Structure 1
Amino acid sequence: MKYLKNVQPYLPLAATDVVSHTGKKIASKAFINSEHTEVRFFSFANGESIDKEYYEMETIFHILEGEVKISYNEVDEIILKAGEILALEAEINYGVEALTDAKYFNILVKG
């Protein structure tokens, strides 16, 4: 496949089976990682987090399992549960914390 990686063509795959963490770690797998688009799947152990970082791309989170807290800007935060989607504007700082064992994927897009 020319653009997609870590996925087989014509084989169904449950989104929750794409990546799994072991122990108290975060696991991730990229399907697309290009200059303008990233699609990544994450699996977090309860309590694990990614500190706030600056992202120049617009971001969509889709929570597959569990609950996560997204912290953005200076003091804003929102809790997302399985099945929920959140979009964030470009050029902001954000971080993610797992409030339970959790899986999600995010899509980052830069024009």
Structure 2
Amino acid sequence: MRGWTLRLCAISPDECILKKRLRERLMSPLDVAEAQVRLSELIHAAIAGEHIVITDEDGTAVRLVPVEPLSRPRFGSARGLFTMSEDFDAPLDDFASYER
């Protein structure tokens, strides 16, 4: 007969709540047919932070994750990152033969 060892871990109530929420957020993998039926629900769940995994018959899997919205660049945000020389727009010697 095997001996059993019981390990007790003392965690705070906040850690217990966080672990419970994490377990609730993890979904079991869905097959493609079920995902097609529940797509809208799955999108909202992924946006809310749930981990959505969709599997195909051949065993391949994909993860449904929210995409960060693209932000517009702010005017002047690159100021000071690079400089141009004073003669930037001066004619180049290599093209002198092409000029009239």
* Coarse TM-score class (shorter-chain normalised): under 0.3
More helix by proportion, 1 or 2? Answer: 2
More strand by proportion, 1 or 2? Answer: 1
Q: TM-score, normalised by structure 1?
A: 0.25
Q: TM-score, normalised by structure 2?
A: 0.26
The structure with the largest alpha-carbon Rg is 2
Larger RCO (alpha carbons 8 Å, 6+ apart): 1
